[in-house]
Amino acid sequence: MYRIASKKELNPTVTQMEIEAPLVAAKAKPGQFIILRVDEEGERIPLTVAGTNSANGTVKIIFQIVGATTAKLNAKREGDSISDFVGPLGVATHTEGIKKVCIVGGGVGCAIAMPVAQEFKRLGAEVTSIIGFRNKDLLILEDEFAACSDRLIVMTDDGSYARQGNVTVPLKELLDEGERFDMIITIGPLIMMKFVTLTAKPYGVPVTVSMNPIMIDGTGMCGGCRLTLVRDGKRITKFACVDGPDFDGYEVDFDEAMSRGRMYADFERHAYEKTCNLLKGAE
């Protein structure tokens, strides 16, 4: 069992927890993830490592309450325990040789982008961060990004905070002004990552995207997290859990990935509603 050392609400739908998992904390690197189960009969879900404290043996996770399992996880209190916490999994974000990086995060994807930005800052790179949210109420981690960024741009879709618009607007402005990054790393909704990639393409800037498809075992055996890359005109199958989660944005078939991501939407909605009713009944 893995004890919940701390719990904090970042906004009405996003929660941060620190889990006591010293073996994971000792080895996890930015870009990697864990797979957890809330209880022995629960489903396995992947969550990105949002930070570690090796001295305390804790791993930080940040999750959005969107499905049955995240609802059950959010019902846990500080001091409670969860059944399984496996990791670190996946390949850490590539940082070697990158001196000037632009981190583009959207919504809860900023929880994944933050430790990546922090790692680049630790390594001495020049970090520009662009983070976007639907509105002010959903804003998270602004102070943390400000602390690890040489330049931070905050966007909201409705203009309720900072600049109005999506994250591609300031990105294109910077590129038009002659900014040249060694790498753009974008993490967030698939549609956002697709358009960040399309925005950067005319300027020839490398783009890394962090993919988070359906995962079950985290070892590549189940095939649930498969992605299609298009390389030199050939379609190649990769697995996000072992080959990723980071991929070359110019190679990812985003349309297929978005289609696969919608396959279980109705089932997940039903499971979420059932779980919420059970949790309410237990109160």
Q: Are residues 137 and 45 in the same domain?
A: no
Is residue 250 within 8 Å of residue 229, measured between CB atoms?
no
Q: What is the pLDDT of residue 264?
A: 59
Per-residue pLDDT of the chain (283 residues; tens, 9 = 90+): 999 999 999 999 999 999 999 999 999 999 999 999 999 988 899 999 999 999 999 999 999 998 889 999 999 999 999 999 999 999 999 999 999 999 999 999 999 899 999 999 999 999 999 999 999 999 999 999 999 999 999 999 999 999 999 999 999 999 999 999 999 999 999 999 999 999 999 999 999 999 987 777 777 778 878 889 999 999 999 998 899 899 999 999 999 988 876 655 565 555 545 555 555 555 5
Q: What is the pLDDT of residue 283?
A: 54
Q: Domain boundary residue among 158, 190, 210? A: 210
Sign, Cα dihedral of 194, 170, 162, 30? positive
* DSSP sequence for 161-226: SSEES-THHHHHHHHHTT---SEEEEES-HHHHHHHHHHHGGGT--EEEE-----SSSSSSS-TTE
Q: Identify any residues that bridge with 109 across adjacent strands, giving them in sequence order.
A: none
Tell me, what amino acid is at 102? Answer: C
Q: What is the pLDDT of residue 266?
A: 61
Q: Are residues 172 and 187 in the same domain?
A: yes
Q: Is residue 253 part of a domain?
A: no
- Nearest Cα neighbor of 40 from 89, 2, 79 is 2
Q: Is residue 276 part of a domain?
A: no
CA 29 to chain centre: 14
Q: What is the largest CA-CA distance in the chain?
A: 58
Q: Quickly list H helices, the chain.
A: 22-27, 68-75, 110-122, 142-148, 168-176, 190-200, 240-243, 254-261, 265-282
What is the distance between the alpha carbons of residues 89 and 37, in angstroms, rounded to a whole number?
Answer: 15
Separation of first and last alpha carbons in the chain: 23
- Domain harbouring 82, CATH code: 2.40.30.10
Q: pTM of the entire structure?
A: 0.89
- Domain harbouring 190, CATH code: 3.40.50.80
When divided into structural domains, the chain yields a total of: 2
Q: Is residue 31 part of a domain?
A: yes
Q: Domain boundary residue among 73, 89, 105? A: 89
